[in-house]
Amino acid sequence: MTSMVFNENATLIRPPTFYISGLYNMPHAKYYYMFLCFVYAVTVLGNSLIMVTIYMAHTLHTAKYIAVFNLALSDLCGSSALIPKYAAMLLYENQYISYVDCLASMFFVFLFIIMQSFTLLALAFDRVIAICFPLRYHAIVTKTTMTLILGVMWIISAAIIGVSVSLITSLSFCMSTVVGSYFCDHGPIYRLACNDNFPSYIMGKVYTAVVICLPLILIALSYVCIGVALLKISHGAERMKAVKTCTSHLMLVAMYYLPICCVYITAIVTTYIHPNTRIINSALAQTIPPMLNPIIYTLKTEEVLQSVKVLYNRIKLNFATEEFMKIVMKN
């Protein structure tokens, strides 16, 4: 039975639950969700390692690694908000979620997705200043500056998704409550409404413009500036050194934006996409980058790799010292 909320203008019909259809009628779908659970386990381990390393290694207490820490936090929280609950629901075939829980889940999943995009933009700002204005880098990109930039980004992210979720509460769901996605996705939910959903449609377009298009354009412009600056560097060795500082960031940008752009472009070019194809593409686009980000930063960034080795040796030394003391105490 649906619940009704009365106001001066209309009667809002809010269902007690939504049904998350997931990969409807797809053979062996459970194996796919088990794969997502594996992805989540690697994501937790990798991002936790990056966060602990940055926290414990004083050499990484810089503006750049404040942004990297923020990216790892967003990746970890985003995957935690997305994978465990919905994978468990679909694996155990209990695919109903309450109205309130669905909106709360929508808020947190999209909040961290937005912050992943914005943090990549903050890292692009760090790289463009480091290469185009190397002598002024430490004066411009300070820890205070980066913290302020990220703080504003968190506020903007919360505002965008807060407005989007609040608009969902003004919709009536008088017919279907089956969500054609693997989580409480904004688009598939507002399209189920039987009253005017135009404000939610507009917010969907705003989300695409502000979260995907604008950061991607600014990142592209930043690398145009970096490319121009690199052409002015006469020595090939210095140019290669500058390029290497950007490789990790470029790989992160490619992993985050390429799958999303492919989904949007395919939707525009193709008249019909099978729902399962769209859901799989979206799931991989939202879950694989958070898993690979810490691996790339650990293997491709010398500072992080060196700090991991130092911390490992310190832990091993502490363990050996404790074992030695235990032996001494016994004797």
The residues pairing with 17 across neighbouring beta strands, listed in sequence order, are 98
* Average pLDDT estimate for 311-318: 80
Which parts of the chain fold into alpha helices (H)? Answer: 29-56, 63-91, 99-132, 137-140, 143-168, 186-190, 198-207, 214-231, 236-269, 275-300, 302-330
Categorize the per-residue pLDDT at 296 as very low, low, confident or very high, splitting at 50, 70 and 90. confident
pTM exceeds 0.85 for this model? yes
The larger pLDDT score, comparing residue 107 to residue 182, is at 107
Evaluate whether 75 touches 47 at the Cβ level (below 8 Å): yes
Q: Is residue 3 over pLDDT 80?
A: no
Planar angle of CA 243, 256, 192, nearest 5 degrees: 160
Say yes or no to pLDDT of 272 above 70: no
pLDDT in tens, 212-256: 999 999 999 999 999 999 888 767 777 887 788 888 899 999 999
Which run of H or E residues covers position 12?
Answer: strand 11-14
- CATH class of residue range 16-300: mainly alpha
- Contact between 76 and 84 (Cβ < 8 Å): no
Neighbours of 22 (CB within 10 A): 25
What is the model's pLDDT at position 4? Answer: 46
Q: Is the pLDDT assigned to residue 173 strictly greater than 50? A: yes
Spatial contact of 20 and 275, defined as CB atoms under 8 Å apart: no
Compute the chain's Rg from CA coordinates.
Answer: 23
pLDDT of residue 5: 47
Domain boundaries, the chain: 16-300, 304-331
Q: Which residue has the tokens 């929280």?
A: 77
